[in-house]
Amino acid sequence: MSILLDEHTRVVVQGIGRQGTFHARRNADYGTQIVAGTHPKKAGTTWEELAVPVFATAAEAAEATGANASMILVPAPSAKDAILEAYEAGLELIVCLTEGIPVHDMAVVYNTLYPRQPDGSFAREGRPVLIGPNCPGLISPGKANLGFIPESSTKPGPVGLVSRSGTLTYQIMHELNLAGVGISTCVGIGGDPIIGSNFGDVIPRFAQDPDTEAIVFVGEIGGTEEQRVGEWIHATIPGTPVVAYIAGFTAPPGKQMGHAGAIVREGGDGGETAADKKAALEELGISVGTNPTETAELM
């Protein structure tokens, strides 16, 4: 089994330019069911590189092809509308790879997809799953790949992997592969300040997957999401092997490190540094690697 993505997932690609075509072709070659593309000016034509029809909107594509997922690779100014279009089409999985989306645009997206409830929480039950933006996508090895993740870095296996960093995802997958350890599903959630799904949304899915026997999560400086999910793991699945890696041990306060969300705020409440996160997770019984190789060895 896997989570979110498998060989039955039917994908419409929003953004069928050069980059969208390149990655959709790669994904299709791996076995992902790419069933349609969207482009308002090319509706009614055939996307020749994929030999699938082109529709004006995601809703039209979903109705005609039975698509239940979207991969979005459009310019940042168009990304908000593309995500909302996929949401309005009723797609269950929306994977937005685009980087550089304005924070305000993502705030609008998040509050539309996951409206705030009277108790202050955000509605998630029965809502679509948004992965990203600014993420590498996800892969269920041997079944389907949606995004940038290199298929050669992994193989099917029992470890669920979720990460804020794309390149570290690839490195740790490679290290696990060298150790003979395969992946059930790998999810790159992205490193922007506002993302559709965080560790607390993905890791419980791994916990419910009968074929995921262990979990690796890759965090980084900024925020305290790693500690929150660590507390959930400690309280809910204490018997599950879990290993973490936190990037940014040498990052100075106040300096953004790669991702927009990877920053330790000067004068913040604490807990945002890599050392803070490592100490908190280890106190909860979660092993934390100091580099990708050690992280794989701990698993």
Phi-psi region of 39 (alpha: psi -120 to 50; beta: other; left: phi over 0): beta
Q: Is 259 a catalytic residue?
A: yes
Beta partners for residue 172, in sequence order? none
d(CA 274, CA 276): 5
The pLDDT of residue 267 is above 50: no
Instruction: Report residue 272's pLDDT band, with 50, 70 and 90 as the boundaries.
Output: confident
Cα maximum dimension of the chain = 58
264 pLDDT tier (thresholds 50, 70, 90): low
**Is pLDDT at 43 greater than 50 in this prediction?**
yes
Give the pLDDT score at 232.
Answer: 97
The arithmetic mean of pLDDT across residues 159-178, rounded, is 94
Lowest pLDDT segment from 116-120, 127-131, 263-267: 263-267
Q: Closest Cα to residue 146, out of 1, 47, 48, 4?
A: 4
Q: Taking residues 32-45, report their average pLDDT.
A: 97
Residue closest to 4 by CA, chosen among 177, 132, 100? 132
Q: What is the pLDDT of residues 193-246, one digit of tens each?
A: 999 999 999 999 999 999 999 999 999 888 889 999 999 999 999 999 999 999
Q: 49-90 pLDDT, tens per residue? A: 999 999 999 999 999 999 999 999 999 999 999 999 999 999
Establish whether domains 10-131 and 150-298 are of one fold: yes
* Overall average pLDDT of the 117-139 stretch: 95
Q: Report the b/e string of 82-106 with b at 16+ CB within 10 A.
A: bbbbbbebebebbbbbbbebeeebb
- What is the CATH code of the structural domain delimited by 10-131? 3.40.50.720
- pLDDT in the model for residue 235: 97
pLDDT of residue 253: 65
Residue 10 pLDDT more than 90?
yes
Q: How far apart are CA 200 and CA 231, in angstroms?
A: 10
Cα–Cα distance measured from residue 185 to residue 142, given in angstroms and rounded to the nearest whole number:
10
Domain ranges for the chain, please list them: 10-131, 150-298
**CATH no. of 150-298:** 3.40.50.261
Q: Under 8 Å CB-to-CB from 283, ≥6 apart: which residues? A: none
Q: Which two tokens stand for residue 22?
A: 């390149």
